[in-house]
Amino acid sequence: MMKKQYRILIADAGDTFAPLFASDICKSGCWAVIRRQERETLIRAVRSEHPDLAVLNLTQPTLDFCSLVPELRSISSLHILALYRQESPFMEAILRQDGVFCWKMPDQIRDLTDAVLRQFFQMQPDTEPMTAEQYLELDVTALLHAAGVPPRLQGFHFLRSAIIRFFRTPPSTRVTMQTIYPMIAAEYNCTPASVERSIRLAITQAWEQHGRGTHADFQFPAGETRRLTNSEFVSLATDWLRLKEKSRKDSLS
């Protein structure tokens, strides 16, 4: 009998917590998906991803958690964990009435991973390798953080979706941003024009912050004096991911 792979939805509130926790808990054989910490995005993710656990970040209060939780409960029987650094007894009391687990954010991500595995899934940490899909989403999230794309922007999440779609498309298949925009718009219930504008804004802010190619992990082209276009950035990111995938496969062979 195959062991169930538990699914965890991690709300990304714009700090470094979500990618770090996702990376760590995936090493224990779980599936983690990161979505922006906003009401409609999380509701859509619960409907489409069917997570066993949703992890909310009260440390970065970006939405009305007390009204969100009953709505999540109405569409799924998932567990909900809310993490905080500063206690808020009133909010915690309301959340606990809806069956939410409220924990203080630990200093070490590993401590949180161990606690989640034991509390919600009665699991001990193991070393099952991550799947290719898990590696891809985590790599793209790390790439965008490294490039300086602000996670608080909607364009961060549109960019992640665009890069993943390009990466999954064989290099021999012609695909352009004009064909990708409508796909992302359908996924996020918005217009292709708003997807294009949001991605352009996200790249502009990243360029202004890290445009000199000083980051050690992911760099804009050396000597480039203008902001990359949307398609240039996605193409650069896709090439970077393919090189990273090849390096990973070479190290295992």
Kindly report the pTM of this predicted structure.
0.56
Whether 91 and 202 share a structural domain: no
Is there a domain that residue 247 lies in?
Answer: yes
Whether 234 and 156 share a structural domain: yes
Whether 85 and 140 share a structural domain: no
Whether 73 and 165 share a structural domain: no
Domain hosting 47: range is 7-121
Whether 138 and 113 share a structural domain: no
Residue position matching structure tokens 């390009």: 166
Whether 59 and 142 share a structural domain: no
Whether 142 and 199 share a structural domain: yes
**CATH at 153:** 1.10.10.10
Is there a domain that residue 126 lies in?
Answer: no
Whether 99 and 17 share a structural domain: yes
Please report the pLDDT score of residue 149 as a whole number.
Answer: 83
What is the count of structural domains for the chain?
Answer: 2
- b/e sequence 5-29, b meaning 16+ C-beta within 10 Å: ebbbbbbbbbeebbbbbbbbbbbbb
Domain-ending residue, one of 96, 121, 146: 121
Whether 27 and 62 share a structural domain: yes
Whether 21 and 96 share a structural domain: yes
Whether 154 and 236 share a structural domain: yes
Please report the pLDDT score of residue 215 as a whole number.
Answer: 42
pLDDT tens across the length of the chain (253 residues) = 345 678 999 998 877 888 889 888 888 888 888 888 888 999 999 998 899 999 999 887 667 888 899 999 899 999 999 998 887 788 888 888 888 999 988 888 888 998 999 888 886 555 455 567 767 877 888 788 778 887 778 898 899 999 999 998 877 777 889 999 999 999 888 999 999 999 999 999 888 876 444 444 566 666 666 788 999 999 989 988 888 777 766 655 5
Is there a domain that residue 127 lies in?
Answer: no
Which of these, 72, 64, 49, 55, lies nearest to 20 by C-alpha position? 55
Whether 137 and 248 share a structural domain: yes
**CATH at 62:** 3.40.50.2300
- b/e sequence 217-250, b meaning 16+ C-beta within 10 Å: ebbbeeeeeebbebebbbebbbebbeebeeeeee
Is there a domain that residue 108 lies in?
Answer: yes
Is there a domain that residue 203 lies in?
Answer: yes
Please report the pLDDT score of residue 9 as a whole number.
Answer: 95
- b/e sequence 91-121, b meaning 16+ C-beta within 10 Å: bbeebeeeebbbbeeeeebeebbbebbeebb
